[in-house]
């Protein structure tokens, strides 16, 4: 395991979600000769049928720990999860933003509260099953993309700073997903063929986002307004459920013309819609900026990725753009929905994460 510390045997707390990746991560750390304890997080007190919050996932993690012969604990972080992930998720939709709860869970719970707890319990490092790598050359820990391009999770870890990365192990980052499953099968781990988790873990698939949010905030119908002419073109049942870039549910505008949500105005009860060309923009206004090693100079080149498996586009960092920081694309690109994470990669080495930010709402668009 190339990422293992060179300090001899260390105490490692492994975050075990009940999936195959974290199962193999625990097995690899153990095989490297370290003292290993597994921990599964209880995050959501409500009903769940997906993700990493179900009772079945806890049972799977415990069985893997038993198979490996390591201790296993369940840590309750329901309060931290509600405060740092669920409530902000609901509030963001109420403002017309589209948050990324998986990123915020990593920020506040897994690499916030859990990492701090691992310190208090005397563990030297925390290990997870994320498909990403950590480069520690030169004494500074930097996050790199995982070897398996299709499963790379560096995007959802892009908010991590070097000090946090120094305390982490990502044992499966050098493996493809197929290699992870093969290794799990060889070890006789029952998670070897378990499907990957999907969707938002605290929203039941049989009820969906509409029901979840409708129980927590008022949902308001609104008008579809042509961004170019100001003409009312139709209605939507809930403006809080519309995402910038969305096409589904907005009709085709007649004549086969597709409409996209260009901006969401919750107070005004309207959604501005336009063509594919109207969806293009030259920059992304951002907030909540984090850096792995330190801030970039103004106009520094970056590669900008705005979705977990999207393409990274060339841009320039603009820390003092009008109204706040922004990234400015070299060529117009699709608008990024407010609330989405913007991961910044190094053009000199596109495998390396430089930092992250969150796309912010701009009143001028409304």
Rounded distance between C-alpha atoms, residue 259 and residue 224, angstroms: 10
Give the model's confidence band at 2: pLDDT under 50 very low, under 70 low, under 90 confident, else very high.
very low
Alpha helix stretches (DSSP H) within the chain = 20-31, 55-68, 78-81, 87-95, 101-105, 114-120, 162-165, 177-186, 208-214
Q: Please tell me whether residue 44 adopts helix, strand or coil conformation.
A: coil
Asked if pLDDT for residue 271 goes beyond 80, the answer is yes
pLDDT at 221: 96
Rounded distance between C-alpha atoms, residue 297 and residue 264, angstroms: 32
Closest CA to 365 of 253, 202, 225: 225
105: its two tokens: 């869970």
* Contact criterion met (CB below 8 Å) for 355 and 292: yes
pLDDT at 147: 97
Query: What secondary structure does DSSP assign to 328-343, as a single string?
Result: EEEEEEEPPPTT-EEE
Asked if pLDDT for residue 338 goes beyond 70, the answer is yes
pLDDT at 18: 94
Asked if pLDDT for residue 335 goes beyond 90, the answer is yes
* Contact criterion met (CB below 8 Å) for 304 and 357: no
- Give me the count of residues in the chain: 366
Encode pLDDT of 112-134 as tens digits: 999 999 999 999 999 999 999 99
Q: β-strands 222-226, 301-305: how paired?
A: unpaired
Asked if pLDDT for residue 49 goes beyond 60, the answer is no
Mean pLDDT taken over the chain: 92
Rounded distance between C-alpha atoms, residue 344 and residue 303, angstroms: 6
Apex 188 CA angle, 187 and 194, nearest 5: 110
pLDDT at 66: 98
Asked if pLDDT for residue 155 goes beyond 70, the answer is yes
% of the chain with per-residue pLDDT over 70:
92
Q: Is 211 exposed, middle or buried (0-12, 13-18, 19+ CB in 10 A)?
A: exposed
pLDDT at 52: 57
Q: What is the CATH number of domain 11-129+171-186?
A: 3.40.50.620
Apex 155 CA angle, 243 and 266, nearest 5: 20
Rounded distance between C-alpha atoms, residue 316 and residue 7, angstroms: 39
Give the model's confidence band at 256: pLDDT under 50 very low, under 70 low, under 90 confident, else very high.
low
Encode pLDDT of 277-307 as tens digits: 999 999 999 999 999 988 999 999 999 999 9
Angle between helix 177-186 and 20-31 (nearest 10)? 70
pLDDT at 257: 75
CATH topology of domain 218-275: SH3 type barrels. (2.30.30)
pLDDT at 1: 43
Give the model's confidence band at 5: pLDDT under 50 very low, under 70 low, under 90 confident, else very high.
very low
Asked if pLDDT for residue 238 goes beyond 50, the answer is yes
The whole-number average pLDDT for the span 180-188 is: 98
Q: Decide yes or no: CATH 1.10.1740.10 for domain 279-365.
A: no
280: its two tokens: 């293009």
Asked if pLDDT for residue 46 goes beyond 80, the answer is no
Asked if pLDDT for residue 363 goes beyond 70, the answer is no
* Contact criterion met (CB below 8 Å) for 142 and 162: yes
Dihedral sign of CA atoms 351, 354, 355, 356 in order: negative
Encode pLDDT of 17-34 as tens digits: 999 999 999 999 999 999
> What contacts 57, CB < 8 A, 6 or more positions away?
17, 18, 19, 40, 51
Give the model's confidence band at 345: pLDDT under 50 very low, under 70 low, under 90 confident, else very high.
very high
Of residues 236 and 44, more confidently modeled: 236
Closest CA to 185 of 357, 350, 20: 20
* Contact criterion met (CB below 8 Å) for 53 and 85: no
Phi, psi of 117 (to 5 degrees): -65, -40
pLDDT at 201: 82
Domain boundaries, the chain: 11-129+171-186, 218-275, 279-365
Encode pLDDT of 63-114 as tens digits: 999 999 999 999 999 999 999 999 999 999 999 999 999 999 999 999 999 9
Asked if pLDDT for residue 47 goes beyond 60, the answer is no
Q: Please tell me whether residue 107 adopts helix, strand or coil conformation.
A: helix
Neighbours of 311 (CB within 10 A): 10
pLDDT at 21: 97
138: its two tokens: 């030169």
Rounded distance between C-alpha atoms, residue 88 and residue 99, angstroms: 8
Tell me the catalytic residues: 105, 201
């Amino acid at each position: 395991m190339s990422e293992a510390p060179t300090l001899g045997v260390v105490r490692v707390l492994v975050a075990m979600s009940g999936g195959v990746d974290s199962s193999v991560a625990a097995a690899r750390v153990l095989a490297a000769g370290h003292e290993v304890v597994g921990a599964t997080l209880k995050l959501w007190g409500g009903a769940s049928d997906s993700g990493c919050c179900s009772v079945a996932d806890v049972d799977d993690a415990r069985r893997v720990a038993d198979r490996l012969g390591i201790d296993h604990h369940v840590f309750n972080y329901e309060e931290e999860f509600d405060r740092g992930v669920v409530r902000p998720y609901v509030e963001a939709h109420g403002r017309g933003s589209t948050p990324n709860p998986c990123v915020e869970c990593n920020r506040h719970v897994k690499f916030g509260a859990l990492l701090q707890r691992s310190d208090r319990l005397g563990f030297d490092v925390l290990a997870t099953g994320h498909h990403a790598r950590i480069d520690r050359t030169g004494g500074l820990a930097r996050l790199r993309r995982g070897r398996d391009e299709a499963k790379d999770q560096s995007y959802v870890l892009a908010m991590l700073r070097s000090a946090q990365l120094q305390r982490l192990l990502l044992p499966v980052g050098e493996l493809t997903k197929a290699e992870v499953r093969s290794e799990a099968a060889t070890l006789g781990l029952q998670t070897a063929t378990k499907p990957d988790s999907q969707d938002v873990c605290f929203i039941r698939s049989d009820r969906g986002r509409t029901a979840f949010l409708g129980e927590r905030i008022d949902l308001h119908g609104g008008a579809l307004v042509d961004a170019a002419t100001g003409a009312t073109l139709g209605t939507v049942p809930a403006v809080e459920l519309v995402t910038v870039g969305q096409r589904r549910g907005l009709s085709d505008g007649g004549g086969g013309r597709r409409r996209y949500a260009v901006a969401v105005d919750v107070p005004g009860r309207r959604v501005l819609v336009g063509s594919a060309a109207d969806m293009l923009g030259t920059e992304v206004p951002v907030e909540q900026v984090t850096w792995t090693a330190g801030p970039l100079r103004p106009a520094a080149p970056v590669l900008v990725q705005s979705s977990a498996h999207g393409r990274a586009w060339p841009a320039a960092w603009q820390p003092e753009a009008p109204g706040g920081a922004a990234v400015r694309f070299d060529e117009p690109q699709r608008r990024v929905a407010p609330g989405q994470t913007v991961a910044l990669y190094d053009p000199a080495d596109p495998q390396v994460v430089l930092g992250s930010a969150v796309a912010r709402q701009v009143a001028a668009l409304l």
